[in-house]
């Protein structure tokens, strides 16, 4: 599907100014303001999106409320909702390469990953939840014979979804698939620097027959549009993927408004732990490098801390830096590239600041550490490996969200666990070992939502994704995702 000629034809296709999707209509911002969309590929102006106002957010919420309360979507037979959602997935699939290229021009992810992880992942996710919704039912409680206890599962209402820029379609679909299948209506706010593909799939949803107001997309600034959604008295559930700082604000906004339920998928500082008895070191090297450097490290589950058993440390780092230097960084629309652009200049500067701080602390920059390809006008950073890192360093505790790997040696299993669990985060982890007992011990001892063994990433839709500690709460993916969008209601009947 990665036809280079087709990609080249799409690369420069002019993009008309984009519009919000509110109540089934395409609309500009209420005051006509726009945000410029700068392509991280070369720093050029790609198009504009509406710079939404509070009134825009409120109009979208009112449309979603009407569609929920009066529009019939929650009352529709699950099989009928399924039919519309499957049609929507088909339309996204039919436009997959166009969507992938548009998304890459907007956010910089390398095209090979973008096609799979963005439109095609959204297609799979929407199909999964559409197919599931007419196969899950309520319960009859095991009561005494004189009573009947029925447990209904009801759509939870209007969902506000606020999503980030690294994988807008994948993460957007993780929220939209189960929410819409469950019968909820949605107001979605994309990130400022990655809105275009979500606006486009909302248009495709209308084409597929999704009733007006069931899915609304409002673009603009987090502090305006996102805040209006978070503070709304009409939004029942708020789902979010993004930074811890914003997650904290959303919890406050909920407490200060209608106490809407808030589900957060926040960042990570995920430990990738390599024991000297790892079964296949070459595989561990390759997968560890990809686990931090693909999409320039802009992956919430990225393995950003590498813990290596001391006896293996030097040999492993030598192999890892040799492999890393073979990774091609650059134009994300070149199918041979393994890491594309950093999403924005702001993000690139943050990444470089982390590296400079480590350098000033006397840590060793084994490879990378610099901005590259500046002559293109785009935002590129060399994959960076930092060794001699101490567990208390900022680079070992805070999420960089860039192609920066912090390496820490350890001597014992206990020490590996202590370092692994020694941050505020608990999203993902990996353990490389040939010892089955050790693998299971580590799975139990590491506080994280997912622990990989002898691999990193690559889990599919059938398993939940969520964090513990300050990595968040609630789960995307798997049938558990429905728990956020379906309320339990008890009927207690005396017979
Ligand atoms: P990052 O710093 O990586 O961009 P953010 O958490 O700021 O991560 O962004 C994730 C999403 O949260 C984006 O859609 C952004 O617009 C939104 N956002 C940012 N600030 C707020 C806020 N105060 N209220 C609601 N949403 C916000």
By most ligand atoms within 8 Å of CB, the mutation choice from 162, 348, 354 for ligand 1 is 162
Q: Which of 110, 192, 300, 413 is catalytic?
A: 300
Q: Ligand 1, atom 2: nearest CA belongs to which residue? A: 243
Average pLDDT over residues 250-266: 98
Q: Ligand 1, atom 18: nearest CA belongs to which residue? A: 222
- Centre of ligand 1 to C-alpha 243, Å, is 7
CATH number of 271-460: 3.40.309.10
CA distances from 21 to 205, 441, 486 (A): 10, 49, 25
Is 300 one of the annotated active-site residues of the chain? yes
Q: What is the pLDDT of residues 189-210, one digit of tens each?
A: 999 999 999 999 999 999 999 9
Calpha distance 142→162 (Å, rounded): 39
Provide the b/e sequence for 33-59 (b: ≥16 CB within 10 Å).
Answer: ebbebbbbbbeeebbbbbbbbbebbbb
Contact 384, 355 (CB under 8 A): yes
- Per-residue confidence (pLDDT) for residue 151, from 0 to 100: 98
SS3 189: strand
Q: Ligand 1, atom 16: nearest CA belongs to which residue? A: 222
Provide residues with CB under 6 Å of ligand 1.
162-164, 189, 191-192, 222-223, 226-227, 230, 242-243, 246, 249
Structure tokens at 166: 């690294």
- Per-residue confidence (pLDDT) for residue 377, from 0 to 100: 98
- Centre of ligand 1 to C-alpha 288, Å, is 28
Q: What is the DSSP string of 263-288?
A: EEE-----EEEE-TT-S-HHHHHHHH
Quick one: which atom of ligand 1 is closest to the CA of 244? 6
- Centre of ligand 1 to C-alpha 218, Å, is 14
- Can you name the residues that pair with 20 across neighbouring β-strands? 27
Structure tokens at 208: 């597929």
- Centre of ligand 1 to C-alpha 97, Å, is 27
Q: What is the pTM of this model?
A: 0.98
Average pLDDT over residues 21-26: 98
- Centre of ligand 1 to C-alpha 479, Å, is 27
Residue at token pair 């490996």: 385
Q: What is the pLDDT of residues 292-330, one digit of tens each?
A: 999 999 999 999 999 999 999 999 999 999 999 999 999
Residue 480 makes CB contacts below 8 A (sequence gap 6+) with: 464
Calpha distance 48→20 (Å, rounded): 11
| pLDDT-above-90 percentage for the chain | 99
Quick one: which atom of ligand 1 is closest to the CA of 246? 6
Average pLDDT over residues 147-165: 98
Quick one: which atom of ligand 1 is closest to the CA of 166? 3
In this structure, which CATH number among 3.40.50.2300, 3.40.605.10, 3.90.950.10, 3.40.50.12370 belongs to the domain 4-266+472-492?
3.40.605.10
Q: What is the pLDDT of residues 266-295, one digit of tens each?
A: 999 999 999 999 999 999 999 999 999 999
- Per-residue confidence (pLDDT) for residue 182, from 0 to 100: 98
- Centre of ligand 1 to C-alpha 211, Å, is 28
Name the helix (H) or strand (E) containing 492.
strand 486-494
Q: Which of 265, 309, 413, 483 is catalytic?
A: 265
Average pLDDT over residues 87-97: 98
- Centre of ligand 1 to C-alpha 221, Å, is 8
Quick one: which atom of ligand 1 is closest to the CA of 162? 14
Q: What is the pLDDT of residues 404-462, one digit of tens each?
A: 999 999 999 999 999 999 999 999 999 999 999 999 999 999 999 999 999 999 999 99
According to DSSP, the β-strands at 139-140 and 158-162 are unpaired
- Centre of ligand 1 to C-alpha 262, Å, is 14
By most ligand atoms within 8 Å of CB, the mutation choice from 194, 196, 246, 350 for ligand 1 is 246
336 phi and psi, to 5 degrees? -85, -5
pLDDT tier at 1 (50, 70, 90 boundaries)?
Answer: confident
Name the helix (H) or strand (E) containing 177.
helix 168-182
Average pLDDT over residues 108-118: 97
SS3 291: helix
Q: What is the mean pLDDT of the chain?
A: 98
Quick one: which atom of ligand 1 is closest to the CA of 221? 16
The CATH 3.40.605.10 portion of the chain extends over 4-266+472-492
| pLDDT-above-70 percentage for the chain | 100
Residue at token pair 């001597």: 411
The CATH 3.40.309.10 portion of the chain extends over 271-460
Calpha distance 5→358 (Å, rounded): 43
Is 184 one of the annotated active-site residues of the chain? no
pLDDT tier at 156 (50, 70, 90 boundaries)?
Answer: very high
Q: What is the pLDDT of residues 60-78, one digit of tens each?
A: 999 999 999 999 999 999 9
Q: Ligand 1, atom 20: nearest CA belongs to which residue? A: 222
- Centre of ligand 1 to C-alpha 191, Å, is 7
Q: Ligand 1, atom 14: nearest CA belongs to which residue? A: 191
According to DSSP, the β-strands at 25-27 and 20-22 are antiparallel
Q: Ligand 1, atom 11: nearest CA belongs to which residue? A: 164
Contact 386, 366 (CB under 8 A): yes
Q: Ligand 1, atom 23: nearest CA belongs to which residue? A: 223
- On the question of pLDDT at 115 being above 90, the answer is yes
Structure tokens at 169: 């379609």
By most ligand atoms within 8 Å of CB, the mutation choice from 51, 168, 191 for ligand 1 is 191
């Amino acid at each position: 599907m990665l036809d280079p000629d087709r990609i080249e034809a799409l690369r420069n296709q002019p993009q008309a100014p984009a519009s919000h999707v509110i109540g089934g209509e395409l609309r500009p911002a209420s005051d006509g303001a726009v945000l410029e969309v700068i392509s991280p590929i070369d720093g050029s102006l790609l198009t504009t999106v509406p710079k939404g106002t509070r009134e825009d957010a409120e109009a979208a919420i009112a449309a979603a409320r009407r569609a929920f309360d009066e529009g019939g979507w929650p009352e529709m037979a699950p099989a009928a909702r399924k039919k519309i959602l499957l049609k929507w997935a088909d339309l996204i699939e039919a436009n997959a390469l166009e969507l992938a290229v548009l998304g890459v021009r907007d956010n910089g992810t390398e095209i090979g990953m973008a096609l799979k992880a963005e439109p095609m992942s959204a297609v799979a996710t929407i199909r999964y939840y559409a197919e599931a919704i007419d196969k899950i039912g309520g319960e009859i409680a095991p009561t005494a014979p004189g009573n009947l206890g029925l447990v209904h599962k009801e759509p939870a209402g209007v969902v506000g979804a606020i999503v980030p820029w690294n994988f807008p379609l994948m993460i957007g679909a993780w929220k939209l698939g189960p929410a819409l299948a469950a019968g909820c209506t949605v107001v979605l706010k994309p990130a400022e620097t990655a809105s275009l593909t979500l606006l486009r799939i909302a248009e495709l949803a209308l084409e597929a027959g999704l009733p007006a107001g069931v899915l609304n997309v409002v673009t603009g600034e987090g502090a305006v549009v996102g805040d209006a959604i978070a503070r709304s008295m009409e939004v029942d559930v708020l789902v979010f993927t993004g930074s811890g700082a914003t997650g904290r604000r959303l919890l406050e906004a909920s407490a200060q408004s209608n106490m809407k339920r808030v589900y957060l998928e926040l960042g990570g500082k995920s430990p990738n732990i390599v024991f000297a008895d790892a079964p296949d070191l070459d595989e561990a090297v390759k997968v560890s490098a990809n686990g931090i450097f693909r999409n320039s490290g802009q992956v919430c589950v990225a393995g950003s801390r590498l813990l290596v058993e001391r006896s293996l440390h030097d040999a492993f780092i030598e192999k890892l830096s040799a492999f890393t230097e073979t990774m091609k960084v650059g134009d994300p629309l070149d199918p041979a590239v393994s890491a594309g652009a950093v999403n924005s200049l702001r993000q690139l500067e943050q990444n470089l600041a982390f590296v400079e701080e480590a350098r000033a602390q006397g840590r060793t920059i084994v490879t990378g550490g610099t901005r590259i390809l500046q002559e293109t006008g785009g935002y590129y950073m060399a994959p960076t490996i930092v060794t001699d890192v101490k567990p208390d360093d900022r680079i070992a505790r805070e999420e960089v969200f860039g192609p920066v790997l912090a390496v820490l040696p350890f001597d014992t299993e206990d020490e590996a666990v202590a370092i692994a669990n020694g941050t505020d985060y608990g999203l993902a982890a990996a353990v490389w070992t040939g010892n089955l007992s050790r693998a299971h011990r580590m799975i139990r001892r590491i506080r994280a939502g997912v622990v990989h063994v002898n691999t990193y990433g690559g889990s599919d839709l059938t398993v939940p994704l969520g964090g513990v500690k300050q990595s968040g709460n609630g789960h995307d993916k798997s049938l558990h995702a429905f728990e956020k969008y379906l309320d339990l209601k008890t009927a207690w009947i005396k017979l």
